[in-house]
Structures are given as structure tokens and as C-alpha cells.
């Protein structure tokens, strides 16, 4: 009897096929009547397979009275009701480390792409403006600029390591100074960090404590010449305050890979020229997604085999 597993979102075929072979997968995202599916299979569900961007809230967890484990395809498990899992003794796993460098690469790429206006420059060629109007407008230097890292965890550290290659003046905020970051300036106050940053990277693990840590005060401290890059979770930024600042010019620009309500965006974003919009793609390389899927499946298999879990957070 294959364990019954509730699947919250889609996975690539290279994961879907072994999942279907090893487990009785019930695809919540594929059904038109989620309530009916949960009522029918909920009591049989022993595992939930979800994604960092989708999570598993109390409604889903409570529909599965015999739930034993939730496996997350992603490093962020902020969308999983961890307190409820702890109270019910439900294991939770994620996929750390395998995606760290891809996400850091993508954040730096977003800074360079938007800072040097590569997409506008591409349009300058395609539109014929280069022939008609001449040289593309000048942009600002990125190397030797000032970078702020809000959250020097695994991803923040890899971002800072990359930026040091651009001879940038790097500072970071975190709970405390880090021994491995002696070359960079520790600035505990996010507003002070923002004030001394041309490029502010938001690389915090999302939680109730970090919600809207980038509010109007931090946004205004980055200011009309600065850029905010978010490769963490939308919840770390007050999105309404961000939009107000971008529309008014109080914030120079933003490069965002995550959004409240994604994949549906606030339509105000689509009217702005000073924002780089990316579809939560920072970890989206073949190699990394294969490693994430393998780790997620290894956790599921290990649990039902009574073996230690490769990457448990609860
Ligand atoms: C995942 C993410 O790719 O790792 C995370 O927490 O958000 C992304 O890297 C995404 O959750 C999967 O769709």
C-alpha cells in the first residue's frame, strides 16, 4: 500500500514520475473542487508535498488528521504553519544549500541588469532608436558602489561574496555581527543600513518577526538614487509603501523576484518603468531544481522507511 501524499503544486516530470511510482499522489492543484478532494482523501493523507512559494496552512493541515510529514520543495518554509506542525508532531523538511548560489547569482544579475538598464538597452536596439536617436542614455556605475545586505544568512553571504568581486563597499544587518564577515561592516539598524546603500538586497528568511521589515522608513532611506533587490519573500517588504515610493520617485528603482499574491501581481507594478519584474525564478536552473526535487523526495522516502530525514526543520 503506497502512502497517500497530497501534492499542493506542480513539479517537473523528473520528480513527478518517481513520486507517482513511490506514493499515491493526490494533486490538489489539478482538481476543480479542492474541498471535495480534501473531504474524500484527507483522512488517508500521511504526507503533504508542497513548494516554498505555496506552503501548507492550517486549513490544509487540519483536513489531514493522520498527517505525519510536510516536505517543502524550496528553502523557505514560512508558508507552512510551523506552530501547528509542532503541536501535532508533524515533521517538516525543506531543501537548503542546493539553491543558495543560484539565488545569489540571480540577485546580482538583477542588480546589474536593472542598474545598467540592459532590458531598456535591448529595446533601444530592437526599436531602431539606436540608429534614430544615437547612443543609449548613460547609466550609473555598479562597481565600487555601496551595497547593503539585509540578512546575512546563506544566500545573503553568497550575494556579499559576489559583490566583493565588484569592489563594492559592503555592509549588512543581522541579529549580530558574523565572525566570517570581518571584511564587511555590521550595521544592526535596517534604516541606517539602507541610508548607506546604493543597492539594498533583501535576503532575510521570512517570518512573523521580519514581516514588513522594509517599510517606508527603510525605503525612504534607500532614497531616489537607490535600488531595492528582493530575492527572499514579498512579506519582508511593505509592498504598498514600496509602490507609493516607486510611483512618487522617493525610491529610485526596485528589482523583485517575489510578490504578494504571486503569480498575480498588484497591477500597479505593471505601469512602472523603474521596476524589474521577475517570476520567482531565482532558483530556477535545471541543476538546482533537480537537486531540490531529489532532496524533497529523499525526505519523503526516508520518513516512510523509518530512516533519519536529510533536511528536517521540525
Ligand atoms: C522555490 C523558493 O523555487 O526556495 C524557496 O523557498 O521560494 C524557491 O527557491 C519555489 O518555492 C518553488 O516553486
Q: What is the pLDDT of residue 200?
A: 99
* pTM for this prediction: 0.97
ipTM of the complex as predicted: 0.97
Residue to mutate, 9, 15, 51, ligand 1, most ligand atoms under 8 Å from C-beta:
51
- Per-residue pLDDT averaged across 153-158, rounded? 98
**Where does the pLDDT of residue 115 fall: very low under 50, low under 70, confident under 90, or very high at 90 and above?**
very high
C-alpha–C-alpha distance, residues 269 and 72, integer Å: 29
- The tens digit of pLDDT for each residue in 257-310 reads 999 999 999 999 999 999 999 999 999 999 999 999 999 999 999 999 999 999
| 96 Cβ closer than 6 Å to some ligand 1 atom | no
| 115 Cβ closer than 6 Å to some ligand 1 atom | no
- Per-residue pLDDT averaged across 197-203, rounded? 98
Q: Which of 200, 190, 215, 139 is nearest to 169 (CA)?
A: 200
- Percent of the chain whose predicted confidence (pLDDT) is above 70: 100
Query: Is residue 158 annotated as a catalytic residue, yes or no?
Result: no
Query: Is residue 280 annotated as a catalytic residue, yes or no?
Result: yes
Q: What is the pLDDT of residue 145?
A: 98
C-alpha–C-alpha distance, residues 43 and 303, integer Å: 19
Please, which contacts does 283-289 make with residues 24 or more away whose CB atoms are closer than 8 Å?
283/74, 283/99, 283/102, 283/103, 283/106, 284/102, 285/102, 288/98, 288/99, 288/102, 289/12
Answer whether 254's CB lies under 8 Å from 229's CB.
Answer: yes
- Per-residue pLDDT averaged across 45-72, rounded? 98
Q: Which of 67, 115, 83 is nearest to 225 (CA)?
A: 115
Q: What is the pLDDT of residue 282?
A: 98
- Cα 97 to its chain centre, rounded Å, is 14
Atom 1 (ligand 1): residue with closest C-alpha?
74
| 73 Cβ closer than 6 Å to some ligand 1 atom | yes
CA distances from 265 to 102, 201, 251, 278 (A): 24, 21, 19, 11
Amino acid at each position: 500500500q503506497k502512502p497517500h501524499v497530497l501534492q499542493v503544486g506542480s513539479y517537473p516530470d523528473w520528480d513527478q514520475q518517481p513520486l507517482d511510482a513511490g506514493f499515491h499522489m493526490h494533486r490538489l492543484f489539478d482538481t476543480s473542487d479542492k474541498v471535495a478532494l480534501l473531504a474524500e482523501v484527507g483522512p488517508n493523507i500521511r504526507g503533504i508535498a508542497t513548494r516554498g512559494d505555496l506552503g501548507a496552512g492550517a486549513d490544509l493541515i487540519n483536513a489531514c488528521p493522520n498527517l505525519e510529514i510536510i516536505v517543502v520543495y524550496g528553502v523557505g518554509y514560512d508558508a507552512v504553519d510551523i506552530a501547528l506542525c509542532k503541536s501535532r508532531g508533524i515533521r517538516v523538511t525543506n531543501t537548503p544549500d542546493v539553491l543558495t548560489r543560484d539565488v545569489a547569482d540571480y540577485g546580482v544579475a538583477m542588480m546589474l541588469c536593472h542598474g545598467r538598464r540592459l532590458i531598456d538597452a535591448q529595446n533601444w536596439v530592437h526599436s531602431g532608436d539606436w540608429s534614430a536617436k544615437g547612443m543609449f542614455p548613460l547609466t550609473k556605475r555598479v562597481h565600487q558602489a555601496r551595497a547593503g545586505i539585509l540578512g546575512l544568512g546563506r544566500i545573503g553571504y553568497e550575494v556579499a561574496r559576489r559583490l566583493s568581486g565588484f569592489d563594492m563597499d559592503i555592509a549588512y544587518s543581522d541579529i549580530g555581527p558574523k565572525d566570517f564577515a570581518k571584511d564587511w561592516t555590521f550595521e544592526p539598524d535596517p534604516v541606517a543600513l539602507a541610508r548607506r546603500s546604493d543597492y539594498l538586497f533583501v535576503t532575510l528568511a521570512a517570518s512573523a518577526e521580519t514581516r514588513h521589515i522594509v517599510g517606508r522608513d527603510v525605503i525612504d532611506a534607500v532614497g531616489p538614487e537607490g535600488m531595492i533587490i528582493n530575492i527572499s519573500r514579498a512579506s519582508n517588504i511593505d509592498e504598498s509603501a514600496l509602490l507609493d515610493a516607486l510611483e512618487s520617485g522617493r525610491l529610485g528603482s526596485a528589482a523583485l523576484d517575489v510578490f504578494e499574491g504571486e503569480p498575480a501581481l498588484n497591477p500597479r507594478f505593471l505601469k512602472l518603468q523603474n521596476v524589474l519584474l521577475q517570476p520567482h525564478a531565482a532558483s530556477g536552473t535545471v541543476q538546482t531544481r533537480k537537486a531540490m526535487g531529489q532532496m524533497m523526495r529523499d525526505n519523503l522516502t526516508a520518513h516512510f522507511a523509518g530512516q533519519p530525514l536529510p533536511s528536517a526543520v521540525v
